[in-house]
Amino acid sequence: MPTFIMLSRLASGAVHSPHSLELLEQKAMERVRKECPNVEWVANYAVLGPWDYLDIFNAPDIDVAAKVSTLIRSFGHAHTEIWSAIAWPRFKDMIRNLPGGKE
């Protein structure tokens, strides 16, 4: 199953306390699990910088990944960005089979 990296940033004023942030996360994840039961969560991180959260998940295809992103945006008025990712060992196997991949 393809792997996706999602960066999320909550809109200013989306939450008013640490407790409301946890409730927002619970509601968002309940909705994602209900609407996208075949998504496998790999990792979740709070990050410093222009984004608030980094999530790594596996989804059957880009359509399901986009659905996850859309659901997250609808909670907390978040901005999201999704990247597809290839595991490093798989990427190395892929480039070895390209013309000029072995020297």
Nearest to 40 by CA among 55, 52, 51, 27: 55
| pLDDT at 101 exceeding the cut of 60 | no
Domains of the chain by residue range: 3-96
Tens-place pLDDT, residues 16-71:
778 888 888 888 899 999 999 999 999 999 999 999 999 999 999 999 999 999 99
Per-residue model confidence (pLDDT) at position 62:
96
Residue for token pair 């509601």: 27
Q: What is the CATH number of domain 3-96?
A: 3.30.70.1060
Specify the amino acid at residue 64. V
The whole model's pTM is what? 0.85
Phi-psi domain of 70 (left: phi exceeds 0; alpha: psi -120 through 50; beta: other):
alpha
Cβ atoms within 10 A of the Cβ of 8, count?
A: 21
Report CA torsion sign: 8, 65, 60, 88.
negative
Distance CA 31, CA 10 (A): 17
Distance CA 57, CA 38 (A): 10
Categorize the per-residue pLDDT at 102 as very low, low, confident or very high, splitting at 50, 70 and 90. low
